[in-house]
Each structure stands twice: as C-alpha cells, then as structure tokens.
Homo-oligomer: A and B are copies of this chain.
Amino acid sequence: MHHDTRTAIIEAAASLFSDLGYSAVSMRDVANKVGVTPANLYHHFKGKDELIREALAHVFTHKTASLEALLNVNQDADEKLEAFVHWLVHLLAEDKIFCRLLVRELTDGDAGRLEYLSKTVFERPFTLVRSLASTRVRDGEDDFLAAVSIIGVVLGQVQLGAIVRHLPGGCSDHLDPDVITRHVIAALRECFKTTSIKDA
C-alpha cells in the first residue's frame, strides 16, 4: 500500500490529529498506527512540531484544485454559486480529516498557521465566492461579509451536525450532504432574489 514510510507517517498523523487534537496524540500513537518504532519518526521529522506542519500541508495543499476546474465551465453566476455550495458541502462532509483539521486550525492556529491556512485553503474559494456575490448583493450591502456568510453557513451546518440527533426534530436526513446542499442553495436563491441589477 504505502511504499513511502514518510507519507504513511504523515497520513497516520493527520488522521490521529484530526480525531484527537495535536497534544492528545503522542509520537508513540502515530508510530503504532503506522507499525514502526517512535525513533523512526525522528529520522523523518525533526520533532512533533515539524510532523504537525507536514501533516497540515499534506491535507491542505491542492485541496481547492478541483474547484477551479468545476467553475471554468460556462455557467452564469447563479449556477456557479450553486456549484460552489455543492462542492464545499461535499468536501467538508466527505473528507472529515480535512474538515476537522480546518476547524482545529481556525480555533487553535497561531498567526503564522492561520495565514498559511488562509493562503492554501481559503483565498481562492473566498475570492471566487466574493466575486460571485458582489454582482448580486443589494446596494449598500457588504460583499465581503456575504462571502463569509456563504462559506460560514456551510461550515456551521456541518459543525452543528454533531448535535443534530440531539435536537428536537433532528433526523439523519439533516446530515445528508445532498439535503444540506439543496437547503443552502434554496436559501441563497431567496436571499439574492432581488439583485441591484434587476432592480435598476
């Protein structure tokens, strides 16, 4: 499977870090998961800090590549925004390691790591969503905040999924990525129904 031990270590570490957090995972835990000795990890990485950085880079890099292709096809802004929501919901729902490390970095990351996260993960999608939103927000509204809300509502839906089954009326349908996607798209369609262009 993994002919590259270094990669195997990084992927085991990313999985454990995403589940338990950085400080709750020891070098032993990672080594055991890979099937090597703890000392081996120090041959491939200077220490735990470097392993954390490499694991984050492995999970975050090129994560938005599939988005570019998706939005290069000929579509109007409405369709592109809907394609983005579909892409983001499914990305966060299906790659739990990515999703959980993302939330951990948003909560715990220092200034340097947050800037790295912004550049590698958020900058391209954010710029794109902001440009899609800017042509559709009402006059006087802030397209920056609109973009944050669009990404934020998806992130919030996924995170609150952890307690959906404990809330009155919650059922497994409310965890289905396709159901969430349709709901968010419908809500955004309402929200942007009257554009400044159409009003003019």
Contacts and interface: CB of A to CB of B under 8 A. Distances in A.
Interface of A: 20-24, 100, 103-104, 106-109, 114-115, 117-119, 122-123, 126-127, 130, 138, 141-142, 144-146, 148-149, 151-157, 159-160, 162-164, 166-170, 174, 179-180, 183-184, 186-187, 190-194
A186 B141 contact: yes
| 4 nearest A-B residue pairs (beta carbon) | A152-B156, A118-B166, A23-B24, A156-B156
B107 A163 contact: no
A62 B40 CA distance: 50
Contacts of A190: 138, 190-194
- Most B Cβ at <10 Å: residue of A109, A117, A138, A159: A159
Given A20-B23, A152-B153, 8 more contacts: A103-B107, A117-B163, A123-B166, A123-B167, A149-B153, A152-B157, A152-B160, A155-B155
A186 B137 CA distance: 11
Contact of A183 (B123, B149, B183): B149
B106 A166 contact: no
The copy count of this chain in the complex is 2
Nearest to A169: B144
A159 B155 contact: yes
A100 B106 CA distance: 10
A41 to B, nearest CB: 19
B138 A160 contact: no
A22 B108 CA distance: 12
A148 B184 CA distance: 11
Contacts of A160: 106, 148, 151-152, 155
Contact of A166 (B114, B191, B192): B114
Nearest to A184: B149
Given A118-B167, A126-B168, A166-B115, A106 B21 contact: no
